Structure 1
Amino acid sequence: MTAGMIGIFQEIVTLFAIVGVGYGAKKLRFMNDEFDRMLSKLVINIALPGMILGSVLTATELPSQTEVWLCLGLSVASNLVMFAVAYGFTLLLRIPDGHRGVYRFMLCFG
């Protein structure tokens, strides 16, 4: 149990170090808005698809077709429930018409 906690602590420290380096780089003006946009494009268009492909291609065992359909069905069902909850809450809380869409989006995709 202690070894597990140490591993978690090391991961948290690593994440805080990465955030700290990013914060420092922004404060020292090594990064600007254009850099942020380009980095976001790099992560979304290249790194993320590469990570997805890498995880699928290196998997030793793929899930069964039943598990895939079950996962898809549960995700669709949970999204439908969240859409209904968001719609109900915006009406119940009497959110003004111009703001309802934003509140519904926040509730569904929090």
Structure 2
Amino acid sequence: MPTEKQPCVYILTSKPFGTLYIGVTSDLVARLWQHREGAVDGFTKRYAVHRLVHFELFDTMELAIKREKQLKNWHRDWKLNLITRENPDWRDLAVGLGFEPMSSDARQAGP
């Protein structure tokens, strides 16, 4: 379970095997709130990429950024395999961090 100011790499998706987003943060809960509320314009808001399906915690932000860059350079299939290995049902892991489950049609992709 992440704590405040815990460096973290995370993967969001629009739906199982859907559009993926990889990010890094020092406060996963706050960052998830921003993504889910559409508080910041950008890719995740535009394409409704709000479901947390994978995250990794690190001791330093330097290590988290290094891992983020590594994951971003991976082939899509490798990313899908990583998620499926750790989270075979593609559950929204944000629910375990205190967020409400997202309905399948809560947010629609598009401008």
Q: TM-score range by the shorter chain?
A: under 0.3
Q: Normalising by the residue count of structure 2, what TM-score does the alignment of the two structures yield?
A: 0.26
Q: Normalising by the residue count of structure 1, what TM-score does the alignment of the two structures yield?
A: 0.27
More helix by share: 1
More strand by share: 2
Q: Which has the larger radius of gyration?
A: 1
